[in-house]
Amino acid sequence: MTTVPDPEDLTARARIRDAAMRHIGEHGFERATIRGIAETAGVSLGLVRHHFGSKQALREACDEHLMKMIRRLNRQAADDPYGAGLNPAAVMGPYQPYLARALTEGWAAPLFDEMVDLGEGWIVEADKSRPDPPDVDARSRSTMIAAMALSATVLRQHVERGLGVDLTSPEGQVKLMRVLVDLYSHPLLSLEEAAEARKALDRGATA
């Protein structure tokens, strides 16, 4: 399965948006300029202002584009969870520097919340077949899963070095998915050990 391109991505507005994501990913939002983005896109300064008006509006358009991609990947995963052609790392790869900037410079709240919302739905569904009752709510768990998933973007060079493979390659995606399948299917704690850990936490909370 592959991600179907959005018709909007063929427009001049989309080309400017993608250029902005590359430019901001390289320089950061504060250092990025409309003029620099226009030069990266190979268009006039006036055309950038015509389509977006301001640097802030342009960044918001970039964020919305990422959220649309994440929603699309989520729908594809729901339709075919084990689809061999579904490679989120390859799809998101060109936007990795921008996403890392958004996370480290502190403007990724809408994107993060979107991932938490989507993940919460998966967790609620998975809880229906869970053998033991959850100790914490689904949203809290989804929040931590989103944080761990996004940290791989910020730490991508280290993750790739540790795995010994380019995550955007077919081989990298297969290896990453095998690692995740193994981790998710073999908990580090048994149900008994988890129960003891919770008891210890309860004792600490009342001490």
* Residue 176 maps to a domain: no
What pLDDT, on a 0 to 100 scale, did the predictor assign at position 3? 41
Tens-binned pLDDT, residue by residue, of the chain (207 aa): 334 444 454 588 999 999 999 999 999 999 999 999 999 999 999 999 999 999 999 999 999 999 998 898 888 888 776 665 556 666 777 888 899 899 889 898 988 999 999 999 999 999 999 988 999 999 999 999 999 888 888 888 899 999 999 988 888 888 988 998 898 888 899 989 999 999 999 988 776
Q: What is the C-alpha separation between 15 and 102, in angstroms, rounded?
A: 20
Q: What are the structure tokens assigned to 115, written together?
A: 């991932």
* Residue 185 maps to a domain: no
Question: pTM for this one?
Answer: 0.78
Structural domain that includes position 70: 62-154
Q: What are the structure tokens assigned to 158, written together?
A: 């280290």
Identify which of 18, 21, 12, 22 has the alpha carbon closest to the alpha carbon of residue 44: 12
From residue 51, give the alpha-carbon distance in Å to each of 13, 40, 57, 91, 153.
6, 16, 10, 25, 29
* Residue 33 maps to a domain: no
The domain tally of the chain equals: 1
* Residue 98 maps to a domain: yes
Give the contacts of 153 (CB within 8 A, at least 6 positions apart). Answer: 92, 96, 99, 100, 103
Q: How far apart are the first and last CA of the chain?
A: 53
* Residue 181 maps to a domain: no
* Residue 202 maps to a domain: no
What pLDDT, on a 0 to 100 scale, did the predictor assign at position 1? 37
